[in-house]
Structure 1
């Protein structure tokens, strides 16, 4: 399996990250309900990743100091499960992650 961003003509990824915490602190959408209503026109495309939901997720930016270890472990599991291509592509990400990232920082 290939990473989605490696298969699209424009090189974009599967997800875009909207920092709800930054929107709130900037004074936009004081409540989650207001934000949710504002996105109603694209609701079928929005996944919030609520805890214990089918769509729960955990985002790791490559600049996160801990990202490299997480990506290397993920690639190792992909390889164990027979997906050498995915393992290779995730290892490429790991080569730019954590302490190897020019943007490295502690997670927030």
Structure 2
């Protein structure tokens, strides 16, 4: 009787220790940022309004190619001299992913 009890107890324990099923969890959809901008000339040849057309971002970083940086959404920038400037816009999403766009801006000194 004792052996029968141990055998039944072993079967019950073995049956209750079955492997659990894996549960698949789909990750939340992460939207990558989209970055786009336009440089709109201002009242003089060195002033520009930068129109932000980006989407799905948490913060922005503008670099104007003259060692200046802005974190505004739609900054106005005045360049100090003529030249070729590489304007970069980086859009950073909530999850840390980034998108970048750059554009060359050529400014000429006007002679009257």
Name the structure with the higher helix share.
Answer: 1
Given the two structures, how large is their TM-score scaled by the length of structure 2? 0.21
Q: Which has the larger radius of gyration?
A: 2
Name the structure with the higher strand share.
Answer: 2
